[in-house]
Chains A and B, each alone.
Chain A
Amino acid sequence: MRADWQRLLYWFRRDARGRWIGLALIVVALAVLPFVLEASVGRTWVRIIDLALLYAMLALGLNIVVGFAGLLDLGYIAFYAVGAYAYALLASPHFGVHLPWWVLLPVGAVLAAFFGVVLGAPTLRLRGDYLAIVTLGFGEIIRIFLNNLNAPINITNGPQGVNLIDTIAIDGVSFAKTNTLLGIPFPGTHLHYYLFLLIAVLVMFVCMRLEDSRIGRAWVAIREDEIAAQAMGINTRNIKLLAFAMGATFGGVAGGLFSSLQGFVSPESFAVWESITVLCMVVLGGMGHVAGVVLGALLLATLPELLRHTAAPLQQQLLGKVILDPESLRMLLFGLALILVMLLRPAGLWPSPTRRRELTSTRVSGTV
């Protein structure tokens, strides 16, 4: 079992001193990033990074399910929705309840984990493709219920969604406005950035520790050969359920944060497309590799925004008109990405060494 600092520095393949310097530089860069972005390209980009960090949390959560345990979940966004709506309903004028964020995030997490167990218990023994379809269906069911539970009793407010959700406030510092701390003005977006960054790093940390543990080994064993794993005494059902529940938990936390950032949630944000987006991040980034999926998430969360700002004018300039609007372009690229990655580089852009050898070698005795 490697110590955390060893894992962290593994990413810097230089001498020890070079590694520490590299790490320090990264920390400083991350700390000043929001200010640099705001000064150069505007505050909207800080907001985009905030969302990208949420996607990173989602990708990390899905990575536990798909990457570590090898279970294809196509309805992962349902857990995000559960967390988001739990937060929204309990911190807004909708029911008139205003619980604080540090209560609601754990509540959302536990609720999401609960749904994870409820979904997983009957379905995790299904073979891979069936599980994929069932989870897809489950994701859709959640969305349909969110969309329609507004009559006869209004629970979710239907397609209109819930708005005026409370923003986070820590020690009197409200994230809704600019606060001056230590003489420096911190706008709400920046405060969100630091909180999300902290939580994302925490999630990464938890994932890395899980990976290099008895549980992590059990997940790999199940992925490799479920029958042999069972024969060795691993309760495959419970271990898979654990993966599901942990993934769901992170989804729920991210959902709550999303609610508080956005101030508004509606069922539209939780369509199948979002599940597929997160899957794309995991697959493209490097399935099973914590650092890889974070990269995938950051790339795929920011790239479409980049395209939105450049694609239309570029096409206008080159072709005289816009053939591919940014939305279509995004879908096109995601679809292509999934296909091309699987065909050409199935281990992803930044694979972990173990995963690369798993996915690129041909299996002789097919047991999956």
Chain B
Amino acid sequence: MSLLEARNIRKSFGGLQALSEVSLAIDSGEIYGLIGPNGAGKTTLFNVFTGLYKPDAGSVLFNGADVTGRKPNLIAAAGVARTFQNIRLFANMTAVENVMVGRHLRARAGALGAILRDRTTMLEETAIRRRAHELLEYVGVLRHAHALAKNLAYGDQRRLEIARALATDPKLLALDEPAAGMNATETASLRRLLEQIRSDKVTILLIEHDVKLVMGLCNRVAVLDYGKKIAEGAPALVQRDPAVIEAYLGGALP
């Protein structure tokens, strides 16, 4: 059984058909890449998976359960965590606070606990704080724990966003262009982090434009063009697929 399965997803905005009959399946433990030219519908599909959009037709199954059209917070609870193309950190909170918010889902203290500060609540808070620090170290930004998120360097912000997503204990980590704007060194470093995450048994779904990163990292790749899936499979194979080449370059090579 696949971890995440999309069946015949259809989504249009006004007159624009953003996604038509997109189906794919992501298996547990792999890094699955979603590539395609700009405007192909990758982020739209992402948003369907994570509950930001409700598809016009089709279904999304996660871990066997139908999560089509569920609210984002419920999908997060089911085990899908994401980052955003434009980085949506909580700008005026510190790095560690950002990650602690990520822990919200796996904690239980409510208003009563907050007011009474009973033993259970206090233990939970300590655990939250500890885990947050652990995750900051895991992604490599522990030294910036008490800096405001908006003041971090770009690369560190991307890592922080990943740390925050990991704080929700996801089964699937969905990353929207995590390497955007990074140079070769930073990208290599990111790649090591993602490989580490994979070996720690978290499945990764990745939107990326960096071909080198995708080829070296992903187990499998799906290519979208104009809202349709035009190829799927191992990166090396997909790379040679004529339909893919045409989509990117606009015509078969002579």
Contacts and interface: CB of A to CB of B under 8 A. Distances in A.
B3 interface: no
Interface stretch (A38-46, A53-61, A224-232): A224-232
A215 B104 CA distance: 8
A55 to B, nearest CB: 22
Interface string B96-116: 010011101101011101110
Contact of A215 (B72, B111, B124): B111
The DSSP consensus for interface residues of chain A is: helix
Nearest to A246: B111
Interface in A156-186: none
Contact of B100 (A217, A231, A358): A217
Interface in B66-110: 71-73, 76-77, 81-82, 84, 86, 88-93, 97, 100-102, 104-105, 107, 109-110
B52 interface: yes
A210 B114 CA distance: 5
B128 interface: yes
Contacts of B134: none
B148 interface: yes
Contacts of B113: 213-214
Contacts, number: 113
Interface residues of B, number: 44
Given A215-B111, A233-B73, A234-B73, A227 B105 contact: no
A218 B84 contact: no
B73 A235 contact: yes
Chain A interface size range: 20 to 34
Contacts of A209: 114-115, 117
Contact of A214 (B82, B84, B89, B125): B125
Contacts of A210: 111, 114-115
A6 interface: no
Contact of B148 (A213, A235, A357): A357
A218 B114 contact: no
A196 B243 CA distance: 75
Contacts of B84: 228, 231
A94 B71 CA distance: 49
Interface string A350-361: 000010011001
Given A206-B115, A209-B115, A214-B125, A231 B82 contact: yes
A213 B88 contact: no
Contacts of B110: 214-215, 242
A236 interface: yes
B114 A233 contact: no
A151 interface: no
A1 B107 CA distance: 15
A317 interface: no
Contact of A217 (B52, B97, B168): B97
B158 interface: no
Contacts of A225: 88-91
Interface string B22-55: 0000000000000000000000000000111000
B71 A230 contact: yes
A365 interface: yes
B104 A234 contact: yes
A242 B92 CA distance: 22
B164 interface: yes
Contact of A221 (B101, B117, B129, B165): B101
Contacts of A363: 91
A213 to B, nearest CB: 3
B90 A220 contact: yes
Contacts of A346: none
A354 B72 contact: no
A328 interface: no
Given A232-B105, A235-B73, A367 B114 contact: no
A231 B173 CA distance: 12
A218 B88 contact: no
A216 interface: yes
A213 B109 contact: yes
Contact of B77 (A213, A218, A229, A233): A233
Interface of A: 1, 206, 209-210, 213-218, 220-221, 224-225, 227-236, 242, 246, 354, 357-358, 361, 363, 365, 367
Given A214-B124, A220-B92, A231-B73, 15 more contacts: A1-B122, A1-B129, A209-B114, A214-B114, A215-B114, A217-B93, A224-B91, A228-B88, A229-B90, A232-B164, A232-B165, A233-B73, A233-B76, A233-B168, A234-B73
Pairs A-B, 5 closest by C-beta atoms = A233-B105, A213-B114, A233-B76, A228-B88, A224-B90
